[in-house]
Amino acid sequence: MPSFVNKVKNTIKKYNLFSENDKVIVAVSGGADSVALLFLLFSLKEEYNLELFVAHFNHQIRGEEAEADVLFVRRIAQQLTLPFIVKKRDVPAYAKRRKLSLEEAARDLRYKFLEEAAKKKGATKIALGHNKDDQIETVLMRLLRGGGSQGLGGMSPKRIIANGANIVRPLIETSRKEILDFLKQKKIKFREDSSNRETVYLRNRVRHRLLPYLERYNPRIGQILFNTAENLREENEYLEEIAKKAFSQVSQPPTTFSKGSRQGRKVVGGKKVILSLNKLTRFHLAIQKRLLRLAIKEAKGDTRQIAYQHWQSLNGLINKNKKNLFLDLPQLRIQKEYDRIVFVKAGKGKRR
Amino acid sequence: MPSFVNKVKNTIKKYNLFSENDKVIVAVSGGADSVALLFLLFSLKEEYNLELFVAHFNHQIRGEEAEADVLFVRRIAQQLTLPFIVKKRDVPAYAKRRKLSLEEAARDLRYKFLEEAAKKKGATKIALGHNKDDQIETVLMRLLRGGGSQGLGGMSPKRIIANGANIVRPLIETSRKEILDFLKQKKIKFREDSSNRETVYLRNRVRHRLLPYLERYNPRIGQILFNTAENLREENEYLEEIAKKAFSQVSQPPTTFSKGSRQGRKVVGGKKVILSLNKLTRFHLAIQKRLLRLAIKEAKGDTRQIAYQHWQSLNGLINKNKKNLFLDLPQLRIQKEYDRIVFVKAGKGKRR
């Protein structure tokens, strides 16, 4: 089915997903998407001069099935004579320990494994099998949960991660149906991803109920959400670029900060981020918000648990005419001292 | 109910909706929202030093009821000793003539009337009664129809229109329930807006079916859509500022263009907009798209009928390596001539 392959090639070109001589970790669960991705990349191996590794994460969520998945993917790797990397982690135990949902835990450990594999093999890319339908569902879930304008862009076709390797999603513009047709046509076997179907409850409701319901309002809703996400992602990328440049103008160089306490609240070791209020407020509100976000991220490590009402309070702190104020947010203390706003990690600092 | 008044005062302050000595055209249909708006502004008249005019548009969609609306609003104006402006237009006939839906026709004529009234009275503001629920419904409708990132910001709390007057929406952050509670508490009467309830079919489905359905996924969905819109509106405003500045760098001064034909297609009199391809492509994709949009708007007068696939074709024209190409879109001819992209209004140019 040349149209499928061409479509993926267009995506690869559009987002510049691969360069010559890329070493690629292909994440293969054994399900339709990742198996199609692997065979597709294998067929493009010569053309793009890629070195491929098959990586499989054994999540141990359902014992026997998980073992059968390992065998299945190993066999494909052998068949294609590609190196096979596998890692077993006890996801349910990790989830319990970290108080995460099974889904979050599996996601965390899977990405960690892929990053480690990339590092070990000196890989430049990690290829994931997410398709267009996954993207639409993701956008809709983020809309329901309040993902902000960052979240509404959905999953990025290409994203740089810590080690300098890139996450790439070559199937992000092809539909689930196109992928299944390709597999059928090529007589390629895959395994039903039972964990995916059962653990990801919200996604399934979105897929099987909400989307068909919204199609009654507009049969093209999926495509519309997809296009909207693309536009928002582009704009978000541009705004982040601007904010990052602005951040170095607005912030003082970060200083490390030893443990101690400030006005009765424990502050834990970490970066102390200082912004100039005068400089901050010279920027457009849209950029100001992003600068505050970057400051929180730098001080606290992430922006988890910071919700809409916290942003409101932070806004209040900035706009109040008092010269000395402080605000305690989850794991974070923010102090206004004349022209400075100081962000320090605080409280129970155990979660990363 | 002081909390309602304070809430509206916060909105007025946040968006700087009024200045001292503003002359305000208050659009009053007779329905709950606009009646509450009028009484509220009347109570703030001294504090903000406002001069108020009650403006009522008689849409003649349902004969007798429309006449009763006129009488009702006139009586309120008399009671408050405010000047009353009324205009009667045959909306159904206008809709038929222009091939518009009743809703579109009523909207067009209503805004035209308000702008004329503002001009005649030298008013600086036109106040509309849209509330928070209207805003949420609008965002959702635009999401369903594919409004792009502009549309998803919803209605603006403050927007400059042609004559230099501003449209302001002081109730945009208060809910329908808060408005009804205020009216009840103050024993203020209003008329059920039957036209609103019956002609605006999609809005009603969104209000009575889609939103309650989405609340099953997240009971806070309304507030989430509202917050998301606020963020997107802010970002959109900032991006438009940047694009408008960039436009003067990328475009040649517009020249007027007489009627004639080019390669067999009629071009009609209007502005000819010329962009430099080199300069255009130096900008980030997010800004490029907005520059093209501005060019189309300038040449054609609006961006109506230009849909997603047209943007795709335009993108193709820009990225193709050929030096001479042209593209015909609805009411628009776009030509690439070496480094120039020329936009000219074309075809049946009757619709404005």
pLDDT 10s digits, A37-80: 999 999 999 999 999 999 999 987 777 888 899 999 999 999 99
A185 and A38 in a common domain: yes
Gap from A205 CA to chain B (nearest CA, Å): 9
The answer to whether B303 faces chain A, any CB pair under 8 Å, is no
Mean of all residue pLDDT scores within chain A: 88
Nearest CA-CA distance, residue B239 and chain A, Å = 8
Spatial contact of B331 and B348, defined as CB atoms under 8 Å apart? yes
What's the gap in Å between the CA of A36 and the closest CA on chain B? Answer: 27
What is the token pair recorded at B109? 């004529």
* pLDDT for res B203: 87
Confidence of residue A234 (pLDDT cuts 50, 70, 90): very high
Buried b (16+ CB within 10 A) or exposed e, B165-190: bbbbbbbbbbbbebbebbbeeeeeeb
* Cβ–Cβ below 8 Å for A308 and B239: no
Kindly indicate the confidence band of residue A219, based on its pLDDT and cuts at 50, 70 and 90: very high
Is residue A351 scored above 50 in pLDDT?
no
Confidence label for A350 from pLDDT (cuts 50, 70 and 90): very low
User: Does residue A213 sit at the B interface (CB-CB below 8 Å)?
Assistant: yes
Q: What is the mean pLDDT of each run of 10 residues along chain B (352 residues)?
A: 85 94 96 97 96 93 85 97 95 89 88 94 96 96 87 93 86 97 96 64 89 96 95 95 95 64 59 91 93 91 81 83 82 89 75 38
Q: What percent of chain A has pLDDT over 70?
A: 90
Same domain, B185 and B260: no
CATH number at residue A190: 3.40.50.620
User: Is B352 part of any domain?
Assistant: no
- Select from B145, B213, B238 the Cβ nearest to the Cβ of A287: B238
Does some domain include residue B246?
A: no
Rank A221-230, A326-335, A341-350 by mean pLDDT and report only the highest.
A221-230
**Range with the poorest average pLDDT among A88-102, A185-199, A269-283, B252-266:** B252-266
* Cβ within 8 Å, pair A220-B146: yes
Quick one: pLDDT at residue A258? Answer: 54
Does B272 fall in a domain?
yes
pLDDT given at position A124: 94
**B338 and chain A in contact, CB less than 8 A:** no
pLDDT for A263: 55
- Out of B193, B214, B239, a domain closes at B239
The strand pair at B84-88 and B51-58 is best described as: parallel
State whether A216 and A145 are in the same domain: yes
- What is the CATH number for A304? 3.30.465.60
Q: Which residues of B touch A293 (CB under 8 A)?
A: none
Residues of B with CB below 8 A from A152's CB?
228
- State the average pLDDT over residues A297-310: 83
Number of separate domains in chain B: 2
CA distance A155 to A145: 15
Tell me, yes or no, whether A90 and A132 share the same domain: yes
**Look-up: residue for tokens 């091939």?**
B99
Could you say which of B206, B227, B234 has the minimum Cβ distance to residue A286?
B234
Is A228 an interface residue toward B (CB < 8 Å)? yes
Residues B186, B50 share a domain: yes
Average pLDDT over residues A81-102: 91
Choose one of B181, B210, B239: the last residue of a domain: B239
Cβ proximity of B21 and B201 under 8 Å: no
Q: What's the confidence (pLDDT) of residue A265?
A: 58
B129, B68: one domain: yes
Q: Look at residue B194 in the predicted model and tell me its pLDDT.
A: 61
pLDDT at B268: 62
Name the domain boundary from A239, A262, A295.
A239
A16 and A157 co-located in one domain:
yes
Domain-embedded: residue B309: yes
Residues B227 and B84 in one domain: yes
Phi, psi (rounded to 5 degrees) for A194: -65, -35
Q: How confident is the model at residue A254 (pLDDT cuts 50, 70, 90)?
A: low
The per-residue b/e assignment along A171-194, b for 16 or more CB within 10 angstroms, e otherwise, is bbbbbbebbebbbeeeeeebbebe
Report in angstroms the alpha-carbon separations of A110 from A114, A115, A135, A168, A196. 6, 9, 19, 15, 13
pLDDT at B302: 82
Residue B285 and residue A241: Cβ atoms within 8 Å? no
Q: State residue B334's pLDDT score.
A: 92
Which residue range forms the structural domain that includes residue B104?
Answer: 2-239
Better-predicted residue by pLDDT, A261 or A283: A283
**In 3D, which of B55, B8, B53, B52 has the Cα closest to residue B27?**
B55
- For residue A217, list chain B residues with Cβ-Cβ distance below 8 A: 144, 202, 205-206, 210
Q: Residues A76, A153: one domain?
A: yes
A219 and A101 within one domain: yes
Task: Tell me: do A89 and A157 sit in the same domain.
Answer: yes
- Strand, coil or helix: A328: strand
